[in-house]
Structure 1
Amino acid sequence: MDKALYVAMTGASATLKAQASVSHNLANASTVGFQATLSGTVAAPVDGAGHASRVAASHQTLGVSARAGAVHNTSNALDVALDPDRWLAVQAPGGGVAYTRAGNLQLTPNGLLTTASGRPVLDQGGAPLAIPPHQSLSIGGDGTISIVPQGQPANTIAEAGRLQVAAANTAELVRGEDGLMYAAPDAAPLAPAAGKVLTSGALEGSNVDATSMLVSMIQLSRQFEMQVRILQKGDENARAANTLLSSR
């Protein structure tokens, strides 16, 4: 009986963690460029001295979904939708390089190009991109930013910089606690992508399938209820056994 209780207890704990992962995905179903977290429950033999007779249920993050999100046109010059396996380089909170597919860019009052969450966008040299005063701006398919300088004729076009866009499969990256993607600790720096890397005036939405996430939430809820019932039945059986022993 103690084995059943142990498995049910660890299973219930893993189910709660899986429910939190599903809830996080659902909360980001409308977040630009968000990629769903993949998770599951695995068997985890308990290590230690003694006979190896205990196997726990453990929640495990399996990675990030590489499925592309829906792309929709916005006609906003600062919006970009990254091509498959292309990542926009931004400055990480710790000062390093992080990557994102969220292309809803913004300009600060002092001309610094940032993501919607405020992370500075990096240029080809790894420095934060600053855009000088301009009348109009456009971003080419290769990430080149062209502007018409303030006070200049419309046919005067100058290059203001180029977005640093890296090429990598989703499986090669690791999601940090801040939601940004990072190169694996033992991996080489990501190589820059050549040629067309993005579509300007468009945004890639979240790749979360809200319907399947809702179904998963219901399934996990019922699974948790079943595991709690096993714990309750185990307690009832233990009470009944104690009653029989005390009556002898």
Structure 2
Amino acid sequence: MHPALWVSKTGLSAQDTNMSTISNNLANVNTTGFKRDRAVFQDLLYQVNRQPGGLNTENNELPSGLQLGTGVRIVGTAKQFSQGNLQVTEQPLDLAVSGRGFFQVQLPDGEIAYTRDGQFQLNSDGDIVTPSGYLLDPNINVPEDATTVTVGRDGTVSAVVNNQPAPVNLGNITLVNFVNPQGLQAMGDNLFRETNASGDPTEGEPGIAGLGTIEQGMTEASNVEVVEELVNMITTQRAYEMNSKVVSATDQMLQFVTNNIG
């Protein structure tokens, strides 16, 4: 295969993957707590025909050498954990993290997952759960006769029970943070899983030790910027077209050689 065909093939493949990343960002523009992905490109190995700095003669060094690239690939997708806009909903169990940190959620198998999606609800037992029914951890149970639920910025949950003048403390919501949040594994359902790359979770009270505060009656919108993604989509489309033209031009060159040299 002609080297230019192979190089352009890697470019087409990389841009195709990049377009898939962009389309997923745009598809989740209204997903609560969603964090956009950015494709990470990396050039492939080089064929070094003349080593830079090699001796051309006994006293002369090559200033640049001759190095031929073999293409490009996408080596990863990096989550961008920038803050999304806080949208007021006035719902008492809608919670948003303003700053760093994740809510903890207990999965059916007992594993702890992490999320920025604070659209919580109550199940039939009065436990605070996610829209998928996963329990918030630590578990908070709201009594059936509770009339007003208040969540403080420090995570303290209280409620007025039986119309008593003094609210009852129901527990505390804690947040966790990671040394490298980009190392978390996305599971779907707005959930993340801890990995070796993310490091161990550090749990703490909201508003302390670098953790964000909890804002009641709000949700965090997706941090996807539609205009930015559309610009990235146009750039990716043009890059794909240019790599396609390289394939076409190389084919014409080979056709010329085939037809005129014999």
Same fold (TM over 0.5): yes
- Report if the CA contact (8 A) 2:127-2:141 is conserved: yes
Paired letter, 1:12: L
**Partners of 1:158 and 1:33 in 2: how far apart?**
30
**Distance in 1 of aligned mates of 2:176 and 2:243:** 45
Residue 189 in structure 1 maps to residue 205 in structure 2: no
Question: Structure 1 9/31 Cα, relative in aligned 2: closer, same or farther at 3 Å?
Answer: same
C-alpha displacement of 1:61: 2.5
**CA, structure 1 residues 3+103, in 2 after alignment: closer, same or farther (shift >3 Å)?**
same
* Worse-superposed segment, 224-233 or 9-18: 224-233
- 8 Å Cα contact 2:12-2:240 kept in structure 1: yes
**TM-score with structure 1 setting the length:** 0.84
TM-score by length of 2: 0.80
Distance across 2 between alignment mates of 1:219 and 1:93: 43
What residue in structure 2 maps to residue 237 of structure 1? 253
Unmatched runs of 5 consecutive residues or more in structure 2: 48-66, 208-212
Q: CA deviation at 1:93?
A: 6.5
Is 1:142 the equivalent of 2:157? no
- Percent identical across equivalent pairs? 25
CA 31–158 in structure 1, closer or farther in 2 if over 3 Å, else same: same
Task: Extract unaligned runs of 5+ from structure 1.
Answer: none
Aligned residues: 236
Aligned with 1:69 (options 84, 99, 119)? 84
Give the C-alpha shift of residue 2 in structure 1. 1.6
CA RMSD of aligned residues (A): 2.5
In structure 1, distance between residues paired with 2:153 and 2:5: 58
Alpha carbons of structure 1 residues 92 and 79: separation in structure 2 relative to 1, 3 Å: same
Seen in structure 2, the aligned counterparts of structure 1 residues 103 and 224 have a Cα distance that, compared at 3 Å, is same
Question: What is the rounded CA distance, in whole Å, between the counterparts of 2:90 and 2:256 in structure 1?
Answer: 71
Does the 8 A contact of 2:37 with 2:78 survive in 1?
yes
Query: Partner amino acid for 2:258?
Result: N
Q: Quick one: distance in 2 between partners of 1:244 and 1:14?
A: 34
CA contact (8 A) 2:178 2:199 kept: no
> What's the counterpart of residue 112 of structure 2?
97
Instruction: Provide Cα deviations, 1:17-42, integer angstroms capped at 9, x if missing partner.
Output: 00010111111112111111121321
2:227 equivalent in structure 1: 211
- Paired AA for residue 202 in structure 2: A
The alignment status of 1:18 with 2:18, answered yes or no, reads yes
The one-character-per-residue Cα deviations of 1:202-222 (angstroms, maximum 9, x if unpaired) are: 121111111000111011111
- Paired residues of 1:28 and 1:34 also in contact (CA < 8 A): yes
> What is the CA distance between 1:227 and its match in structure 2?
0.8
Counterpart mapping for 1:118-129 below 5 A: 118-123=133-138, 128-129=139-140
Distance 2:88 2:198 in 1: 35
- Alpha-carbon spacing, 1:25–1:195, altered in 2? closer, same or farther (3 Å): closer
Q: Which protein has the larger Cα radius of gyration, Structure 1 or Structure 2?
A: 2
Question: Bigger shift: 74-83 or 88-97?
Answer: 88-97
Moved over 6 A (4+): none
